[in-house]
Structure 1
Amino acid sequence: MLGDVWLWVAVEWAPPTYLEFYARGGFDAPTVVALLVAALVKAALLWLILRAPAPGPLDRQAKALRRLLYLAVAYTLVLWYPIALLPDAVDAVFQLALWTAIDVLYLLVIRWRSRMLRAAAGAMFAVELAGMANELLDELDLPELGPGGIVELGLVLGGVAATIITVVGQRRDGRWSRGTLAAGWLSVGVYALVIPFNFLFERISSGKEAVLVMMGAVGLVGTVWIAATARELPAEGRPADLPPVRRRVIRVAVAAVAVLPVIALIHPEQTPHLTYTGWSMDCYDRPRFGDLEPAEHDAAFLCRARSTEGGVPPMFPDSLSDQAILAYGRALCRTKDRDEQEAILTRAGSARPAGGADPWDLVYVCPEIVGATHPELLRSSTETETAYTAHIAEENAKCRDPWPRTKAVAQATAKYFLFADGDHGYLVHDPGDEAADLAAEQAMDKVYDDNALIGVAGSAVLIGHVEDVSDLCLTVKAFRTAPPRRTAGWDQVNEVPIVSRSGRLAVPEMGEGGDVGAGAPMPNLAIAGKGRYRLRVYVRVDDAGQEHHLVVAFPGASRKRLELKP
């Protein structure tokens, strides 16, 4: 009746400032229902928390434990908000100090009736406190005990183990009622519920606020157990056991809390399995078909089918199950053209049906079909590297030195590979020059200034290609003096200046996995060290359409461009 603000404050016991964080536009119907149900649950649990302490004498250690336990209850209900206004490190120090004292008193006050059980309790308490200490180190920007994810998991598991062993100790002690022990076991169930909840929360498409509200209400079970532990500390006047009917109800509730999280993790076959998805880092590796075991092929296709690499939508929506995606993938393998693929992807609800599916993705689900037309996709990484090396060597062998009898100080002949969709040409440059990138850009801008297709800019010369080719045969030779011109048999011969500021002049080579550059190691053409050089560039195209280049370098101070043969 009073609106969302008052409903939130009444149920969540939190200032309305937190309302904006969870529901800026107001509550939807499921959240309102969850808040009303949570109000009843929390009212019942609060009644259990605020029951008066049991009468009876207490020694000094038991009194201290009771006060600290009630302080932990007060923190959960009230004190968390004013402490949250302080730096996070203050909260971490308070929690560590409080639970260190409580755990030590647990070891002293509870009658464990077994040295092994007491030692096990001490070990579990130490693990729990180590997790809290790690949080404090994180808040203080100090080196942590270990990776955050591992320590956080250890904290959760340590908390579960510490709670279990404490409840076992209370049962062996005999002071605490069945209701208190049941609250302890229920708090263990809440811990077990937190793990799958955190795992599934990011995948909940709607109703997040309702789930958070109910989780907050259920989380008070642990506070009920702490308050009941403090209330029943006196050895005399032990509360009477619960009636049989109430005991059965509590057992059913404990079993439900323990079993329901496990059931929530079991998906029906029509829902998508999210163990290998587009957000997995493995998807960016794109393993080759030949490197995977047969059992891994389907998972690799699912990864590619759900991948959002490059910011593009996935091939299939997350609403489809793994089985459905695999079936659609095999159907895509049997299509004859892109139109059929688009129809299948549209039927599957794809966000990009016009993109179709590529053979290197489909090979994982139908290798027998894709391999018939693209056998290279079936290779392993080793086989691919071997085939690639053999291909480069074969291409290099097709190129011959046009001046075989004229030996230079340094020389090499190889196939130079350009971009498949066209390239400006190749560079002869000084890679050690501080302005190497700028010189390369300027040379590229000047490459079309005249018909010679040679751009000159200080320490970089970009040599263009005559024909529309994707590769050419390149020979480079470095001489100490200018060799004879020998222009016969060449279509173009030009001579241009270049400077080496670091003592190097090189032609780019193909890098590891690269597609552009010389297919073999290229020598340093600046054989006289730093200084000015001349480049004489010979170009011709044979009857088969293969383009051949000869680049001759030698020291020379002239800055003129010479056209030796048009």
Structure 2
Amino acid sequence: MVGLVLAAAVVGLVLGDAWLWAAVEWSSPAYAKFYARGGFDPPTVVALLVAAPVKAALLWLILRAPAPGPLDRRAKALRRLLYLAVAYTLVLWGPIALLPDAVDTAFQLALWTAIDVLYLLVIRWRSRMLRAAAGVMFAVELAGMADELLDELDLPELGPGGVVEPVLILGGVAATVITVVGQRRDGRWSRGTQAAGWLSVGVYALVIPLNFLPGGISIGSLPMLVIMDAVGLVNTVWIAATARELPAEGRPADLPPARRRVIRVSVAAVAVLPIIALIHPEQTPRLTYTGWSADCHDRPGFGDLKPAERDAVFLCLARSTDGGVPPMFPDSLSDQGILASGRALCRAKDRDEQKAILTRAGSARPAWGADPWDLVYVCPEIVGATHPELLRSTTEAEAANTDYIAEENAKCHDPWPRTKGVVQATAKYFLFADGDHGYLVHDPGDEAVAEAAEQAMDRVYDDSALIGVADSAALIGHVEDVADLCLTVKAFRTAPPRRTAGWDQVNEVPITSRSGRLTVPEMGEDGEVGAGAPMPNLAIAGKGRYRLRVYVRIGDAGEEHLVAVFPGASRKRLKLKP
């Protein structure tokens, strides 16, 4: 059997990557195409060729004949179950994988529940405390399997995965440790079997940090996957050796001292060398974030971050492809390189110098340069000197924005202070500079208001009045290229006096309220457009037709609008001034 494995590896090397994978990994050649569609790179081929003799040697240890000697009923049951666990690892996992995942998990849970119970009964622990501790550790190990089964069945799990999973994994490691201790106290198992048990612990000690390190063992690291698959057979060797040496009589002789030293070195190598292999020299690119990282979708305020977190946010933004735009820096550039280039961008005198820095760094968009709100995370002392607002926390920014809106609202005054409306309001209406057509007076409860607003926008430039009307929506344009204007709205029960003196334009148009509401959009929590104060419902007579009179003038305080709304059935457009 061992020779067959080695021969298959040689044949696989001749026939191609897929067959080499099948010979060494003992799985379908189709998996090779899944892991590497373009073929294996040299490190993966080397890892497979090294793994082949290692797995062959471990397979020889697994397939050794059971030791002769009498066994009682419990020991016989334990031996059979242990060999079933070995068969599952080597062969049965394939057909069982064709079944639903829950079946596989339930099978393993049942198998290891029986094995752990028999461990407690068969092993001579020689200490009640040790047996009790073993029972607790076995229970934790089985709880981990049960939690996985609950997950497969879409049932409530034992707790948050980030907390429960590490505890349960460590419980499994502790169960292995205490079983090996029990074997030593029992006395029937050889030092070689105990060494295999400690090697299993070493494999656990290797796998756990690899799985919990950033990035873990990714499917892109094929050599590491091959190595871990070969090393994982050590646990199967221990299980098989435990079953083989169950008879109390005819205990194998202890290993000679030289072989014991080799085993100790092997344990240390399994636990330490792969970890050392993961430590790269400093010049190797170290990648923390990519443009697809989930954390890159949020932009925390500079003042909300601890100093140690600011570099990570800049790395996130520098590699972000949010919105389909190319990243500032390529993913191939290391963290160190991006941070160094970012600080150089802070010191650049103009966009041309920024373009040169980005070009050297391999940016796909060097002509765009870099903006202060991105660079603030790596050089706050430079950006903060000219943009102190970028140093604020979210709370500080919200407070500053609230104060700013209040100050802007205070600059606007009611142009008809003696003519009170049934409802009225005066506020600054904020627009995107040169980007907004104007502001809406609309019925937000009308199901067709979105379509009406689009039609009103299409009609706003039909005449010099800059008022587009479509049923329940009126879009009122601004005269100058402004970012904001003073707006007063008033609702009357009857038509107010015209009072055109002092105004540049006065126009009157029809509008309809289908839900009994007419209002002006307010600035939202995250928005930059809208009225800076709450706007009232101007449809004071409920559903029906209304007249909308718009007064516009430009003075020292900027552009000022007055909107008067009152009931009226006329559909005429009136130009009252000029």
Write out aligned runs for 1:402-441 (5 A): 402-441=415-454
Report the more deviating stretch, 48-57 or 437-446. Answer: 437-446
Deviation at 1:353, TM superposition (A): 2.6
CA–CA separation in structure 2 for the residues paired with 1:312 and 1:206: 27
Deviation at 1:553, TM superposition (A): 0.6
Match of 1:83 in 2: 96
Match of 2:227 in 1: 214
Question: Does residue 1:290 correspond to 2:297, yes or no?
Answer: no
CA–CA separation in structure 1 for the residues paired with 2:297 and 2:97: 40
Unaligned runs of 5+ in 2: 1-10
Question: Does residue 1:553 correspond to 2:565, yes or no?
Answer: yes
Deviation at 1:262, TM superposition (A): 4.1
The one-letter code sitting in structure 2 at the alignment partner of 1:133 is A
Question: How far does the alpha carbon of each residue in 1:46-66 deviate from its partner, in whole angstroms, 9 at most, with x for none?
Answer: 100011111111111111000
Q: Does structure 1 conserve the Cα–Cα contact (< 8 Å) formed by 2:210 and 2:217?
A: no
The one-letter code sitting in structure 2 at the alignment partner of 1:486 is R
Q: Does structure 2 conserve the Cα–Cα contact (< 8 Å) formed by 1:196 and 1:261?
A: no
Cα 1:442–1:85 change in 2 (3 A) is same
Q: Does structure 2 conserve the Cα–Cα contact (< 8 Å) formed by 1:473 and 1:547?
A: yes
Match of 1:386 in 2: 399
Report the more deviating stretch, 485-494 or 475-484. Answer: 485-494
Match of 2:8 in 1: none
Cα 1:172–1:319 change in 2 (3 A) is farther
Question: Does residue 1:563 correspond to 2:564, yes or no?
Answer: no
Match of 1:3 in 2: 15
Cα 1:275–1:50 change in 2 (3 A) is same
Task: Give TM-score scaled by structure 2 length.
Answer: 0.91
Deviation at 1:102, TM superposition (A): 0.5
CA–CA separation in structure 2 for the residues paired with 1:21 and 1:277: 23
Decide which of 23, 47, 50 is 2:36's aligned counterpart.
23
Question: How far does the alpha carbon of each residue in 1:234-281 deviate from its partner, in whole angstroms, 9 at most, with x for none?
Answer: 111111111111111110111112223543554543345555666555
Match of 2:57 in 1: 44
Deviation at 1:521, TM superposition (A): 1.4
Cα 1:322–1:28 change in 2 (3 A) is closer
Q: Does structure 1 conserve the Cα–Cα contact (< 8 Å) formed by 2:291 and 2:331?
A: no
Question: Does residue 1:353 correspond to 2:404, yes or no?
Answer: no
Q: Does structure 1 conserve the Cα–Cα contact (< 8 Å) formed by 2:317 and 2:374?
A: yes
Question: Does residue 1:69 correspond to 2:78, yes or no?
Answer: no
Q: How many residues align?
A: 565
Q: Does structure 2 conserve the Cα–Cα contact (< 8 Å) formed by 1:271 and 1:320?
A: no
The one-letter code sitting in structure 1 at the alignment partner of 2:480 is E
Q: Does structure 2 conserve the Cα–Cα contact (< 8 Å) formed by 1:272 and 1:318?
A: no
CA–CA separation in structure 1 for the residues paired with 2:418 and 2:137: 83
Match of 1:247 in 2: 260
Aligned-residue Cα RMSD (Å) equals 2.4
CA–CA separation in structure 1 for the residues paired with 2:303 and 2:32: 54
Report the more deviating stretch, 303-312 or 183-192. Answer: 303-312
Match of 1:330 in 2: 343
Cα 1:490–1:531 change in 2 (3 A) is same
Deviation at 1:184, TM superposition (A): 0.9
Match of 2:514 in 1: 501
Match of 1:483 in 2: 496
SS of 1:469 mapped into structure 2? coil
CA–CA separation in structure 2 for the residues paired with 1:149 and 1:385: 33
Report the more deviating stretch, 311-320 or 390-399. Answer: 311-320
Report the more deviating stretch, 64-73 or 321-330. Answer: 321-330
CA–CA separation in structure 1 for the residues paired with 2:512 and 2:332: 62
Deviation at 1:200, TM superposition (A): 6.2
Cα 1:291–1:213 change in 2 (3 A) is closer
Decide which of 520, 527, 537 is 2:533's aligned counterpart.
520
Deviation at 1:322, TM superposition (A): 4.1
The one-letter code sitting in structure 2 at the alignment partner of 1:109 is V
Match of 1:173 in 2: 186
Question: Does residue 1:160 correspond to 2:173, yes or no?
Answer: yes
Cα 1:114–1:277 change in 2 (3 A) is farther
CA–CA separation in structure 2 for the residues paired with 1:17 and 1:182: 36
SS of 1:219 mapped into structure 2? helix
The one-letter code sitting in structure 1 at the alignment partner of 2:85 is A
Question: Does residue 1:234 correspond to 2:257, yes or no?
Answer: no
Cα 1:86–1:433 change in 2 (3 A) is same
Deviation at 1:311, TM superposition (A): 4.0
Match of 2:467 in 1: 454
Match of 1:469 in 2: 482
Identity percentage of aligned residues: 85
The one-letter code sitting in structure 2 at the alignment partner of 1:557 is A
CA–CA separation in structure 2 for the residues paired with 1:114 and 1:371: 68
Question: Does residue 1:144 correspond to 2:123, yes or no?
Answer: no
Match of 2:136 in 1: 123
CA–CA separation in structure 2 for the residues paired with 1:516 and 1:9: 62
Report the more deviating stretch, 476-485 or 190-199. Answer: 190-199
Question: How far does the alpha carbon of each residue in 1:375-429 deviate from its partner, in whole angstroms, 9 at most, with x for none?
Answer: 2112233332232222212222222211111111111111111112321110011
Deviation at 1:127, TM superposition (A): 1.8
The one-letter code sitting in structure 2 at the alignment partner of 1:370 is V
CA–CA separation in structure 2 for the residues paired with 1:357 and 1:204: 35
CA–CA separation in structure 2 for the residues paired with 1:114 and 1:405: 97
CA–CA separation in structure 1 for the residues paired with 2:489 and 2:470: 20
Deviation at 1:13, TM superposition (A): 2.0
The one-letter code sitting in structure 2 at the alignment partner of 1:84 is A
CA–CA separation in structure 1 for the residues paired with 2:367 and 2:289: 25
Deviation at 1:122, TM superposition (A): 1.5
Deviation at 1:3, TM superposition (A): 0.6
Task: Give TM-score scaled by structure 1 length.
Answer: 0.93
